[in-house]
């Protein structure tokens, strides 16, 4: 339902791994601190960052969703198409006016 609503309102939907340790990972340094009981609502990482469990998980979910969908913000994957310049003469195109239609042999070599 969330995916449908995101498409309806022109938003990007990103799905992350269901078992990603988002509440166990420090959003400042990336260290995984390990599982904690649900009664633990805040914790301090060894890097010194103090985290609220839910806010930290939300930051990690957003970061992982952006990482998985690194092109979701409209970044171009390929460079834009550039039309080929038009040749100025028949000689540049490689067309020989005196050449007959060629046929291909079984090996794929052109035969006149």
Bridge-partner residues for 43, per DSSP? 51
Bridge-partner residues for 42, per DSSP? 52
pLDDT tens digits, 41-86: 999 999 999 999 999 999 999 888 877 655 555 555 555 667 766 6
Instruction: Decide if 24 is inside a domain.
Output: yes
Cα torsion angle, 84, 90, 91, 93, sign: positive
Instruction: Decide if 83 is inside a domain.
Output: no
Q: How far apart are CA 53 and CA 41, in angstroms?
A: 5
Instruction: Decide if 33 is inside a domain.
Output: yes
pLDDT tens digits, 82-103: 776 666 665 555 555 555 555 5
Residue 104 has pLDDT above 60, yes or no: no
Instruction: Decide if 62 is inside a domain.
Output: yes
Instruction: Decide if 85 is inside a domain.
Output: no
Bridge-partner residues for 44, per DSSP? 50
Q: Which two tokens stand for residue 109?
A: 């070599």
* Number of structural domains in the chain: 1
pLDDT band (50, 70, 90) for residue 112: low
Q: Which residues contact 105 (CB under 8 A, 6 or more apart)?
A: 111
Instruction: Decide if 58 is inside a domain.
Output: yes
Query: What radius of gyration, in Å, describes the C-alpha atoms of the chain?
Result: 29
Which domain does 64 fall in, by range? 1-76
Instruction: Decide if 47 is inside a domain.
Output: yes
Instruction: Decide if 90 is inside a domain.
Output: no
């Amino acid at each position: 339902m969330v995916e449908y609503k995101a498409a309806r309102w022109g938003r990007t939907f990103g799905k992350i791994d269901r078992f990603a340790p988002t509440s166990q990972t420090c959003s400042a340094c990336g260290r995984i601190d390990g599982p904690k009981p649900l009664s633990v609502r805040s914790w301090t990482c060894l890097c010194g960052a103090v985290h609220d469990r839910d806010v930290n998980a939300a930051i990690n979910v957003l970061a992982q969703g952006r990482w998985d969908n690194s092109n979701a913000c409209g970044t171009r994957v390929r460079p834009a198409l550039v039309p080929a310049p038009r040749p100025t003469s028949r000689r540049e195109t490689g067309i020989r006016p005196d050449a007959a239609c060629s046929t291909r042999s079984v090996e794929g070599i052109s035969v006149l």
